[in-house]
Amino acid sequence: MLAPPATFFPADLTGVPVVVTGDADGDLNALVNVCRHRGAVVCEAPGERSTLQCPYHAWTYDLAGNLINAPRSDREPNFDPGSHALTPLPIGTWGPFIFVAATSSVPPLAETLAELPDLVARAGIDVEALQFWDRSESQLEANWKVVVENFLECYHCRVAHPGFNKVVATGADDYGLATARTFSTQYGPVRDDWSGRFDPRGPVERSQFHRLFPNVAINILPGFANLSIGPISPRGPGRTHRFLDYFFGSDVTDEWIKDMVEFDNQVGSEDVALVESVQRGMEAGTHDGGTLFLDSEELIAHFQAWVGERLS
């Protein structure tokens, strides 16, 4: 999110430092946040200036990434500032969400999102009207693929998420799974006999949990307008970083938000224990690949096929 009056903010794209800028023309840019001089990270914090200045030798770029000043460059007859711009990356927006790709060879964002915005709209969420609430970050001692696979099934919900299971119907005949070319979706209806502190009643009638390839999770819980979104990013073979940015409709009460976030955090902490357990199991070196129950774990098979295609 680029919230006014900020003009730029840094981000990490699974190990690629990126800076997102809003320039004077109102255009959004995503730039590799690595100085074209000797490779220092240029921007370490959000700012409201019209330039980006590298802290190492003060090479200075405009917000479109053009190099506009390099001290002592006048003493270098063959130096060409025009060939030393910060590298641009593809950028696109959907409502308040900004998507940046780490390589230039990606289709337009609308093609990647495909029917996903429609599904979210049909849940009763107007993304343009959502307001940012807070970011939650976590570091998991587990491989990225283990974390994604855990996100993709609710076979474990009855066993491992008792609070969630009291609110959402997680049985095989109630809980919906769907695959698309660029994402997969889980639909969790509210139980008729729901119970617990979190009240799921409201215009949003059921949960939607989307995973947009390769690594974006999007969650909508039942109740009032809400959406949390963020990447699941590998940080090494046994470590994964996540963040979730929570958004709510402007008329949602603080009390409901507090209950919903508490409900969500409980599920999240239970999931951390599960994936870290799987990681320890994997590291034993005795696991032969395991078994998938396709009726309940279809989305994992879909994901594994996607990974397999990209690796081959």
By beta-carbon distance, which residue lies closest to Fe ion? 271
Closest to Fe ion by CB, 7 vs 219, is: 219
Beta strands in 23-130 (DSSP E): 28-32, 51-53, 60-62, 67-69, 88-89, 91-94, 97-100
Provide, rounded to whole angstroms, the least separation between the CB of residue 190 and ligand FES.
Answer: 54
Partner touching 20 among Fe ion, ligand FES, none, CB below 5 to 8 Å by kind: none
Partner touching 167 among Fe ion, ligand FES, none, CB below 5 to 8 Å by kind: none
Contacts of 235 (CB under 8 A, 6+ apart): 15, 139, 241
* Binding residues for ligand FES (CB under 6 A): 35, 37-40, 54, 56-57, 59
Tokens of 91: 């950028």
> Which residues share a beta bridge with 229?
218, 245
The answer to whether residue 149 forms part of the interface with Fe ion (CB under 5 A) is no
In the list 62, 264, 271, 297, the residue contacting Fe ion (rule: CB under 5 A) is 271
Provide, rounded to whole angstroms, the least separation between the CB of residue 156 and Fe ion.
Answer: 6
With CB under 5 A, what is the number of residues at the site for Fe ion? 1
Partner touching 271 among Fe ion, ligand FES, none, CB below 5 to 8 Å by kind: Fe ion
Burial status of residue 117 (CB atoms within 10 A of its CB: 0-12, 13-18, 19 or more): middle
Partner touching 63 among ligand FES, Fe ion, none, CB below 5 to 8 Å by kind: none
Provide, rounded to whole angstroms, the least separation between the CB of residue 197 and ligand FES.
Answer: 52
Contacts of 113 (CB under 8 A, 6+ apart): 94, 182, 212
Tokens of 94: 């959907």
Partner touching 56 among ligand FES, Fe ion, none, CB below 5 to 8 Å by kind: ligand FES
> How far is residue 65's CA from residue 53's CA, in Å, rounded to a whole number?
11
